[in-house]
Amino acid sequence: MRQLHDEIAVETDGKGLYEVTGPVVRWLGGTGIADGLLTLFLRHTSASLLIQENADPAVQDNLAAFFERLVPEGDALYSHVTEGPDDMPAHVRAALTQSHLAIPVRGGALQLGTWQGVFVFEHRRQPHRRRIALHLLGS
């Protein structure tokens, strides 16, 4: 049994879903581990990680639009506004989703479904550099 740790960075240019399946698969391919479990952890509180459909971009657009309606900016409930009107809604959206994923690895491949991809869901308007910690345990 071996363990590997690394980190990948994702540049975002505002709200939306950013697919990171490719960089994760490339990293996995260089590890030499065929079977195990990959944990991804997003090191931020105003973005999140999702496994979502990657075949039709309308799914990502619709999901982003749904979250805009579900957690709107400018709600009088928010008192945390020093970082801008999009900050507290970003924290709520991140709380409703997830900051980590666990994906089985078999035969050197992520065991994602046919239409599944890994995404960073950026909840802030401004560009950010998001960091994902990778931890692979396997043989």
In this prediction, residue 74 carries a pLDDT of 92
In this prediction, residue 121 carries a pLDDT of 98
Provide the token pair at 57: 């971009």
Low-confidence spans in the chain with pLDDT less than 70: none
Is the distance from CB of 94 to CB of 88 less than 8 angstroms?
Answer: no
Provide the token pair at 64: 């982003």
Whether this model's pTM surpasses 0.85: yes
Is the distance from CB of 105 to CB of 31 less than 8 angstroms?
Answer: no
2-138 topology per CATH: Jelly Rolls (2.60.120)
Domain boundaries, the chain: 2-138
In this prediction, residue 127 carries a pLDDT of 98
In this prediction, residue 138 carries a pLDDT of 98
Is the distance from CB of 111 to CB of 39 less than 8 angstroms?
Answer: no
* Integer Cα distance of 49 and 123 in angstroms: 11
In this prediction, residue 54 carries a pLDDT of 96
